[in-house]
Amino acid sequence: MYKVDFDKPVKAYFMGIGGISMSGLAEVLLQEGFNVCGSDMKSSDVTKRLEELGADVKIGQVRENITEDIDVIIYTAAIHPDNPEYARATELSIPMLKRAELLGQIMEHYKYSVAVAGTHGKTTTTSMMSYILMEAKLDPTVSIGGMLDAINGNIRVGKSDYFITEACEYTNSYHALNPFVTIILNVDADHLDFFKNLENIKESFKTFAGNTVKGGVVVLNGDMDSTDFVASGTEQRVITFGLKEGNDYRAEEVSYDVAGLPTYTLISKGHEPIRVSLGVPGLHNVMNSMAAIASADYLGVDRELTLKGLGKCKSAKRRFEKKGVTSAGVTVIDDYAHHPTEIAATLKSARELKPEKLCVIFQPHTYSRTKALLDEFAEALKVCDEVLLADIYAAREKDDGSVSSKDLAELICVKGGNATYLGGFDKIEEYVINNYKKNYLLITMGAGNVDSIGDNLVKK
């Protein structure tokens, strides 16, 4: 594997430089004095920011972009051998690194690295850790899979030994990381276009736990059926968190304010019980916050500063983000949830707001996930007063005709829910304008581009 020498900056080319994680790594290399260039399929605020920082960004991916003076190429799982840039790089024998491999090499330069993994909650928990370490004035470097107001983007380059990043399980990319603090929030069936089954996923997280460096810690959800199995993968210390008795960090007496924001009593070994108040809604974020507190405790952060940081942490972009109110008085929230477990947690948080009607515009993400989890999606969504289905967001996949959003709408109705397949965004917007009224809560939901519907509705 090509090894990046941070003492000798070279010319690095990013295929898909506008991606949320790729752009963050590109910015880190820019700050380290590297000659950064790359390409993406379209211009965006992210690519424009990189250009302002000195990157050479090309729109469109063609053979001619890959020149012999490039020293190393970074690419993601979305780039395949038939990509013209990939093919040209192979012809020229230019060294290539996967995104996670570069992330792992960057991580090696930080003594106190924190990697946040799990099927759900990575971005929010990374946000929490970022706020905590910034409140403690530890000047962390942060790489996050969302846009965070506190750092004005998805990357923050600090000057200390602290590094925080999300660790994605897809294609086992996080196996390239060796964290000091390994956070595993949950282990559920997902990315079944890559993993064979849930057991395969559990094995993957067990391997990731084993990557924790000597002297480090694994902060692990203790409420899972797979907790002991995943923990058996590491020889390092394991700290558990959850709602059940026996966890090292446990939440009791959870209550919610009128905005659905939780407060709870934290019981943890070696500490006095404390009340914790969060700026993000939902019981799932109580779990996320315990993982963050346990990690901060292990890093030696003062509890008072930890609580202040958590109190300041608000949802990252596309995480239960309030978009505004329509002219008809409909409150619009956007959420990135694209897995049944995430959807159920988001809807439970939404019910705490006690709307007259809870409505969701759902855009399924990838055909493989929709097909594999169709029944689970229907179960999660049937609790809504109404679900409007947009067409499936293909992402890296092609439609083989085996599943559609119409299938999901029909199954939700079979299960006793209320769902309508409308397909195109224009039809969905027209339906909402003509049928939704004051005191309705509308959530645009999915990992694709469904958030644009909410943006349009609050502008009209």
Residue of 76, 119, 123, 341 with catalytic role? 123
Distance CA 130, CA 313 (A): 9
How many Cα atoms sit within 13 Å of 232 on the Cβ side?
Answer: 6
**Bridge partners for 362 per DSSP:** 389, 445
With CA atoms as reference, report the closest residue to 155 among 50, 288, 68, 60: 50
Amino acid letter for position 42: K
Alpha carbon separation from 425 to 113, 190, 432, 453 (Å, rounded) = 41, 26, 11, 7
Distance CA 86, CA 66 (A): 9
C-beta of residue 283 within 8 angstroms of C-beta of residue 345: yes
Is position 122 annotated as part of the catalytic site? yes
Instruction: Report strand pairing: 331-335 vs 262-268.
Output: unpaired
Residue of 85, 135, 166, 169 with catalytic role? 166
Distance CA 310, CA 415 (A): 39
Tally Cβ neighbours within 10 Å of residue 45: 10
CA-CA-CA-CA torsion sign (428, 430, 436, 441):
positive
With CA atoms as reference, report the closest residue to 40 among 4, 69, 8, 78: 78
Is position 379 annotated as part of the catalytic site? no
317's CB contacts (< 8 A; 6+ apart) are 146, 147, 148
Distance CA 162, CA 299 (A): 10
Residue of 47, 122, 124, 444 with catalytic role? 122
Is position 123 annotated as part of the catalytic site? yes
What are the catalytic residues? 122-123, 166
